[in-house]
């Protein structure tokens, strides 16, 4: 909480509002709210997955703007939009959630899609008489972990304004995703129909992860 405490030399109302620190219970509540955002993305994805423009549809449902994916600093407003901006009073500020990486669209979307990939694979293997070889199972899990980790590091780099560093992390995440796609096809299941449906759903989400990252990389290189 000390990271949110500060001393102000201003006089007046700021003196009695300087301490806006959160306690542990506040942060636990914030994390539960973050998990709900991930669940909301999953619901939005399931609702829109048959839409050719599903990523744009999901962004609309989540309330994200195009700029949200790559940067929170480079939003350009025209004169009319500038005139409509109103300063927040201190009470409004006190009730706003702090901005953390948990709210970044890359974090939310990657968490949601990777969560599906892990759960789908675990479910497939739990009911699978044809258990995979150890090196394939390990390689698949490791590639999922690497892809998710580097997507999170990319989101953090975007927040810090290190756009080319974000590109490097997304390229590494992309390589891990390609490995996930390769290994995923090497698994098998006693029920051909179940396995084909599994491949269809997991490939859809992997390709959407790739599309999200490619869009962000394109914006970062402008």
Q: How far is CA 204 from the centre of its chain?
A: 17
Task: Specify whether the CB–CB gap between 125 and 140 falls below 8 A.
Answer: no
Secondary structure string (H, E, C) spanning 54-70: HHHHHHHHHCCCHHHHH
Confidence label for 76 from pLDDT (cuts 50, 70 and 90):
low
DSSP H stretches of helix in the chain:
24-48, 54-62, 66-70, 79-84, 90-94, 105-126, 134-159, 163-184, 192-220
Residue 157 has pLDDT above 50, yes or no: yes
Residue 161 has pLDDT above 80, yes or no: yes
> What residues does each domain of the chain span?
34-222
Lowest mean pLDDT among 24-33, 44-53, 107-116, 167-176: 24-33
pLDDT in tens, 186-213: 999 999 999 999 999 999 999 999 999 9
Task: Specify whether the CB–CB gap between 148 and 109 falls below 8 A.
Answer: no
Task: Specify whether the CB–CB gap between 21 and 4 falls below 8 A.
Answer: yes
Name the nearest CA neighbour of 156 among 138, 168, 145. Answer: 168
Residue 2 has pLDDT above 90, yes or no: no
Using a pLDDT cut of 90, give the percent of the chain over it: 65
What mean pLDDT comes out for the span 52-59?
93
The model scores a pTM over 0.85:
no
Residue 33 tokens read as 């709210």
Per-residue model confidence (pLDDT) at position 1: 38
Which has more confidence, 191 or 127? 191
């Amino acid at each position: 909480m000390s990271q949110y405490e500060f001393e102000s030399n201003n006089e007046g109302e700021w003196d009695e509002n300087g301490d806006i620190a959160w306690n542990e219970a506040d942060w636990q509540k914030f994390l539960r709210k973050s998990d709900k955002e991930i669940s909301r993305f999953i619901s939005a994805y399931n609702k829109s997955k048959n839409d050719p423009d599903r990523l744009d549809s999901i962004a609309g449902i989540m309330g994200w703007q195009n700029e949200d994916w790559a940067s929170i600093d480079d939003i350009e407003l025209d004169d009319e939009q500038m005139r409509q901006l109103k300063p927040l009073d201190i009470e409004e500020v006190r009730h706003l959630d702090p901005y953390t990486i948990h709210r970044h669209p890359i974090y939310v979307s990657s968490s949601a899609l990777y969560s599906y990939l892990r759960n789908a694979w675990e479910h497939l293997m739990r009911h699978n008489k044809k258990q995979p070889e150890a090196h394939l199972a390990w390689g698949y899990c490791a590639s999922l972990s690497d892809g998710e980790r580097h997507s999170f590091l990319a989101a953090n780099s975007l927040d810090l304004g290190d756009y080319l560093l974000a590109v490097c992390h997304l390229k590494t995440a992309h390589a891990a995703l390609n490995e996930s796609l390769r290994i995923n096809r090497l698994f098998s299941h006693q029920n051909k129909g179940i396995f084909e449906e599994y491949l269809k759903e997991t490939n859809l989400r992997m390709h959407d992860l790739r599309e999200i990252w490619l869009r962000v990389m394109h914006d970062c290189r402008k």
